[in-house]
Amino acid sequence: MDKELKNHISKLLKQEKRMDGRKPLDFRQPISVEYGVSATAEGSARVKIGETEVIGGVKLSLETPYDDTPDSGNLMVGVEMLPMSNPDFEAGPPSIDAIELGRVVDRGIRESKAIDTKKLCIEEGEKVWGVIVDICPINDAGNLFDACALAAVAALKDAKFPEIKDGKVDYKTKTDQSVPLATIPISVTVRKIGDGFIVDSTNDEESAIDARLTVAIDENGELAAMQKGGDVALTIEEVDKMVGIALEKEKELRSKL
């Protein structure tokens, strides 16, 4: 829609430049992770990337397992695109963008086997832990994908099981037992505008992108989940290049945890 903006951004990218003065593959600074920001959650974290700010919170509850996985706990990850964080987000039921964002963050954690759901089983077929991660953006100044994924794993890292009393969760008392994490996935989203590639997009850049690729990467550098978005098709070479960029930038985000 905003063709002037798009022209401007792609013209700059040809010179390896961006509107805010960054290089194409620079993240905004500072990047910070703060743990324990919500006392009512079992685990929580605030992630800031430049001016983008999101809060992630984990709730743990006692549930019955699904019939097909009687010995496994349940995992759910969701993102609310709070209208507080961006003038373009609307109040009401989740938009398709919010659903995609939530599912992409969910798959990064699920498919990297970050949580060994077998360890969440208390009594086979009867009682398991349910782990629910909710991510709430406070200020969306761009790149919610990476910020939300980082907040989700940070909140999980912070999570402690509550006591069980008389078969019920006592939310007032936390144990010192952490949620077992087998690996920590980090998501990096690479975006293509014209012929250029960028990471950590701003709102302006996001309104002008042709394609995006989100790559979740585990601790061993293996790819655990991906999602291609945007209206323009990619060549195999382009995908290869974008994955290469993601692998390179993953370390920077991981070092902030």
Partner 1 sequence: MGYEKRIDGRKKFEELRPIEAKAGVIKRADGSAYFKIGKTVAYAAVYGPRDLYPKFMQNPKKGILRCHYNMMPFSGQGDRVRPGANRRAKEISMITEKSLIPVINLEDFPNAVVDVFIELPQTDAGSRCAGITAASIALADAGIIMKDMVSAVAVGRVDDKLVVDLDYNEEAYEEGRAAADVPVAFLPNSGKLSLLQMDGNITKDELKKALEMGKEACKEIYEVQKKALKDKYQLGE
Partner 2 sequence: MSELVVKNKEVVVPGEVLATGMDYLPGQGSYREGDNIHASILGLVNVDGRAIKLIPLSGRYLPKRGDTIIGKVIDVMMSGWRVELNCAYSAMLPLMGTSEYIMKGADLTKYFDLGDFMVAKITNVTSQKLVDLSTKGPGLRKLSGGRIMEVNTHKVPRIIGKQGSMVSMIKQATDCKIIVGQNGLVWILGEPDNELLAVKTIQKIEKESHVSGLTDKIKEFLEKETGKKLEVNVNGE
Q: Using CB under 8 A, list all residues that contact partner 1.
A: 37-42, 44, 51, 55, 57-59, 61, 78, 80, 82-87, 91-94, 132, 134, 136, 138-141, 171
Pick from 147, 130, 160, 158: which is nearest to 45 by CA?
A: 158
By DSSP bridging, strand 74-79 and strand 127-139 are parallel
Stretch that binds partner 2, among 2-10, 25-33, 79-87, 178-186 (CB under 8 A): 2-10
Q: Which stretch binds partner 2 (CB under 8 A): 13-21, 34-42, 176-184, 246-254?
A: 13-21
Distance CA 40, CA 54 (A): 17
DSSP letter assigned to residue 94 = P
**Helix (H) / strand (E) containing 78:** strand 74-79
Nearest approach in angstroms of CB 1 to partner 2 is 6
Out of 8, 103, 174, 256, point to the residue binding partner 2 (CB under 8 A): 8
* Binds 256: which of partner 2, partner 1, none (CB < 5-8 Å by kind): none
Measured between alpha carbons, how far is 177 from 197 in angstroms, rounded to an integer? 42
Task: Report the residue number, 205 or 250, with the smaller CB distance to partner 1.
Answer: 205
Tell me how far, at minimum, the Cβ of 204 lies from partner 2, in Å. 9
Of the ranges 6-14, 31-39, 152-160, 190-198, which one interacts with partner 2 (CB under 8 A)?
Answer: 6-14
Query: Which of residues 44 and 112 has its CB atom nearest to partner 1 in the complex?
Result: 44
Our CB check for partner 1 shows the closer of 13 and 79 to be 79
Query: Checking DSSP bridges between strand 196-199 and strand 52-63, what pairing results, if any?
Result: unpaired
Q: Which two tokens stand for residue 43?
A: 């685990």
In the block, tokens 């006591």 appear at: 163
**One of 4, 67, 68, 231 touching partner 2 (CB under 8 A):** 4
Residues 47 and 93: their CA atoms lie apart, in Å, by 25
Residue (17 or 103) nearer to partner 2, CB: 17
Token duo for residue 232: 């323009």
Q: CA distances (Å), 57 to each of 18, 85, 150, 242, in order? A: 33, 17, 12, 30
Least distance in Å: CB of 156 to partner 1? 12
Q: What is the DSSP letter of 181?
A: B
Residues that bind partner 2 (CB under 8 A): 1-5, 7-8, 12, 15, 17, 19-21
